[in-house]
Chains A and B, each alone.
Chain A
Amino acid sequence: MTSVPHAVAYPRPWRLGAGTQRTLIRIGTGVLLLVLWEVLVRWLAPPFVARPVTVARALPHVLANHVPAGTPTFWGSVEATVIAVFEGLAIGVTGGALVGLTMGRLRTADRLLRFYVSAFFAMPIIALVPVMTLWFGYSNTVRLAIVSLGAFLPVCLNVYDGTRSVPSSFVEVAQSYHARWWNVWFGIALPSSLPYLLAGFRLAVGRVLVGAVVAEYIVNLKGLGSMIVFDSRTFHQPQMMVAVLVLAVLGVAINGVADLATRRFLPWYRRSE
């Protein structure tokens, strides 16, 4: 492997590195927000309102599933939501990539579908939850349908854009080497749209988390969403805040892993041209 040339930074001894500086600023902002939250709640809010200290105190109990009898267990909820999120991402991203690719390469598919895909994309998918409970009953299928659709739409539209902007020179090269249509679709159009797919994936992660939580709120499915509703209604606010934090961490983590995977497996990404 040849090493990637990059600019050499000359660290000055009396200064922190740019990376360390950025991390410190980030942590500082976080600490400041926590302090503000703690102070404001102590000063203005009734005692059952969660503050960082009570959340921290609740954390070990919640993580050990030691919650008051009758409240949803933490790990059970995490598991239900995480599985739904990954199922939805898997179905939606695969389906979205395939349909987007087809729309991008086949004019007929473009004319048939794009208008409706765009329309659905512009619509808040969670508005469909009540309708879906009529179709699928109060079941996990509602959540799966919502999260799959939530992942499908942004990936589909982004991959469509990607396959529409495949440089014609790539297709020309492929044809000159006797590529058949499937070689062009999956060997040229899809890899060359990977940057678009990744952008779609980022949007998908956000939409899937929202979809899962809202479906759990409304349909009252086991998961972090229903745990949040239940705990907040039963005045277990610190417990609830742990669930909220987990959702935040989940979103950041999935995108972080996607970033790492991009850097590891697609080193050419954003370096070409």
Chain B
Amino acid sequence: MSTEGVRIRIAGVGKEFGALRVFQNIDLEIGEREIVSIVGPSGCGKTTLLRCIDGLVKPTEGEIRIDGTAVTGPPRGVAVVFQHFGLFPWKTVYENVAYGLRLAKAPKEHIRESVPRHIELVGLKGFEKAYPYQLSGGMQQRTGLARALATDPHVLLMDEPFASIDAQTREILQFELLRIWESRPMSMVFVTHSIEEAVLMGDRVVVLRGRPSSVHEVIETGLPRPRTRDVLSSPRFNEVRDHVWSRLMHEAEQAERELQEVR
């Protein structure tokens, strides 16, 4: 554990959808100022695990605690950034960013102060009155990020947030997110199917594997913070990336072989 206190405690968590067991025996602790990346093959349940942490999905077994309180529904102080952005097309950027605060019945003065500040933080100043359809994918996800941050969360759950964004924009957003995180470190769970992204973002990378999947390995990336573009060319980054890659490729090849046999 690289950081002080534990914020999220996942103990023996498993999830079944009917007869399908998605994952089991997940034990994981995430620190107050730690970014944990979760990677795994498609269908391994990484997104479902994230939903369990947010209380949107109830695990079949085990327990998740945030700050010592068991998660039974979406907890306070936890915000999610979704792969599908989840912006409301009938709301402007401003209103989308204000959504969480309005639902929480935040005081008007607080909303008036916080929303523009977060819009500026994600680099969308001037687009307050734009509608989602007028924005590029990258700008839409900036809005999604601002909406999450505006609620001042101490846990940020990232559900493949940059998966549907073009490569260059993705890289820009990754480093912007890191920059924002440096200015207000918090507990972050970053689900991704990109190994590079997992290594770049995380203090630790959790590899899910198997069917049903479980934690196969937890790798300390040991990369320095604040992270800059230099990290991408560092030997340590390549080493960790190749390690995670080999862990996942092994599984992918096996799955491929099984499919061949079935055919």
A contact residues vs B (CB 8 Å cutoff):
1-2, 4-5, 169-170, 172-179, 183, 188, 191-192, 194, 266-268, 271-273
Contacts and interface: CB of A to CB of B under 8 A. Distances in A.
Chain B's interface size range is 20 to 34
B81 to A, nearest CB: 10
B131 interface: yes
B82 A173 contact: yes
Interface stretch (B14-22, B84-92, B165-173, B179-187): B84-92
Nearest to A3: B134
B86 A272 contact: no
B90 A266 contact: yes
A268 B90 contact: yes
Given A169-B84, A194-B90, A179 B131 contact: no
B104 interface: yes
A2 B129 contact: yes
B137 interface: no
Given A170-B86, A178-B74, A266-B90, A272 B100 contact: no
Contacts of A4: 134
B56 interface: yes
Contact of B134 (A2, A172, A273): A2
Given A176-B74, A268-B133, A271-B133, A169 B86 contact: yes
Contact of B133 (A170, A173, A194, A272): A272
- Residue with the highest number of chain B CB atoms closer than 10 Å, among A169, A176, A194: A176
A173 B129 CA distance: 21
Interface string B117-146: 000000000110111111000000000000
Chain B CB within 10 Å, residue with most, of A173, A191, A271: A173
A179 B54 CA distance: 14
A266 B89 CA distance: 10
Contacts of A272: 89, 131-133
